[in-house]
Amino acid sequence: MFSIVWANDSTLTHILLQRLAVLQSKSDLVFSKGSFPSYRAYSLNNTIEKGDENAFFTGLICFTLRDLIKDLNETDKKIAADMIENASFNFFSHFKNQKGRNTYNFWSTNPPKIFPNSGWMNLFDHSQSLPDDFDDTVILLLAMGTSEASAAEVHNLMQDFTNGNGKEIKNTFEAYKNIPAYSTWFGKKMPVDFDISVLSNVLYFVQQYHLKWTKADSASLQFITKVIEDKKYVNAPSSVSPHYNRTPIILYHLSRLMSLQPIPELEIHRQELVEHTLKLLNESNSFIDQTILSTALMRWGVKPPIKTIQSGKSLFELIEDPNFVFFIANMSSMLPNPLKDAAGVIGVGRFNYFCEAYNTCLLLENIVWQKRVSTH
């Protein structure tokens, strides 16, 4: 495997699923029942971690498990299905729009919270709460396997939250400022915000539910394509993906979108994306980066090179690496240029997120993809 060659991939799959089941909260004592614990650290003081209960990582894990479940044996299917049910039944409702709209928030809306476990900052839970966002909404709807009718209803709502629809983006490159793509946020008071990884998730949702393609979908694809053409995903990843921040994670998102069904505008860039992924894989010393880059290659139909892992750490120590940051809460990303870039360099307003369960899920996904490509 990339590729770590496992002696028995079925055994490892079972071990990883069992590990996920152990990590899922069974009560409401610390983290809510059905959730997978995650933590955040302020980038200017990265040694202090605080528990951060959010919908994002639990949603991603269930979304991934729902995709993988068809490849599991009967015993493991039940483990995965139980985890999805526990989250869907016990947890996700806390993040639904307060007025009943079928959109979701990163943090709890019932009761409202921002930056959980933040002491005095939580005095502002009600007055300064963030609006629902596109990313968490599509991830949770995919995780719960929402109906086609519900997906279409949310997609219709999304059309009101685009660049130029009453508000124009101020924090992207000049070449992208007139593209009427989706913003990250449902809130009318929030600045318009573009993120190539978020838009990849939104278009995955559109494709997965076979929704009628709209002007905003086409514009979002235009933004994604232009970012690839301009090499901004390599040269300026934090600018074009302020909430994911790094090239390996952008490539991971693009490969997931492109694996669902061919999109001609993206297919012409497949070879370039593969070459960048191979380059990063060969240069990387991060086990989880290697994992997601390997998965990206397999989604693009490329067999990853053999890469030997030399470490005195156990497998779970490699997986549960707190230095791997999949997602950041980037408050400075909403500032207009050039303040956005200056704050981003310093790290002001940036919180790095860590979720050991999601890291485990990323390796599980890689193992299942190896099985998929070996049987085709």
Q: Is residue 87 part of a domain?
A: yes
Question: What letter represents residue 323's amino acid?
Answer: N
How many distinct structural domains can be found in the chain? 1
Q: For all residues of the chain together, what is the average pLDDT?
A: 88
For 50, other C-beta atoms within 10 Å of its C-beta total 14
Average pLDDT of 110-121?
Answer: 59
Q: What is the pLDDT of residue 332?
A: 52
Average pLDDT of 282-305?
Answer: 95
**Cβ contact 133:97 at 8 Å:** no
Q: Is residue 165 part of a domain?
A: yes
Q: What is the pLDDT of residue 349?
A: 64
CB within 8 A of 74, min separation 6: which ones? Answer: none
**Structure tokens that stand for 368 in this block:** 């299942």
Q: What is the pLDDT of residue 323?
A: 87
Average pLDDT of 8-34?
Answer: 92
Q: Is residue 324 part of a domain?
A: yes
Dihedral sign, CA of 116, 118, 124, 129?
A: negative
Domain region containing 287: 9-374
Q: What is the pLDDT of residue 343?
A: 44
Q: Is residue 4 part of a domain?
A: no
Among 105-119, 274-288, 339-353, where is mean pLDDT lowest? 339-353
Dihedral sign, CA of 49, 51, 53, 57?
A: positive
Kindly give the residue spans of alpha helices, DSSP state H, lying in 1-147. Answer: 9-23, 55-68, 74-90, 134-144
CB within 8 A of 352, min separation 6: which ones? Answer: 40, 41, 42, 43, 46, 325, 328
Q: Is residue 1 part of a domain?
A: no
Q: Is residue 357 part of a domain?
A: yes
Q: Is residue 80 part of a domain?
A: yes
Dihedral sign, CA of 136, 142, 145, 151?
A: positive
CB within 8 A of 370, min separation 6: which ones? Answer: 1, 3, 9, 298
Average pLDDT of 82-92?
Answer: 95
Q: Give the CATH number, domain containing residue 286.
A: 1.50.10
d(CA 221, CA 39): 32
Average pLDDT of 29-45?
Answer: 88
pLDDT-derived band at 212, boundaries 50, 70, 90: very high
Q: Is residue 35 part of a domain?
A: yes
Residue reference for tokens 């955040």 = 40
d(CA 234, CA 152): 34
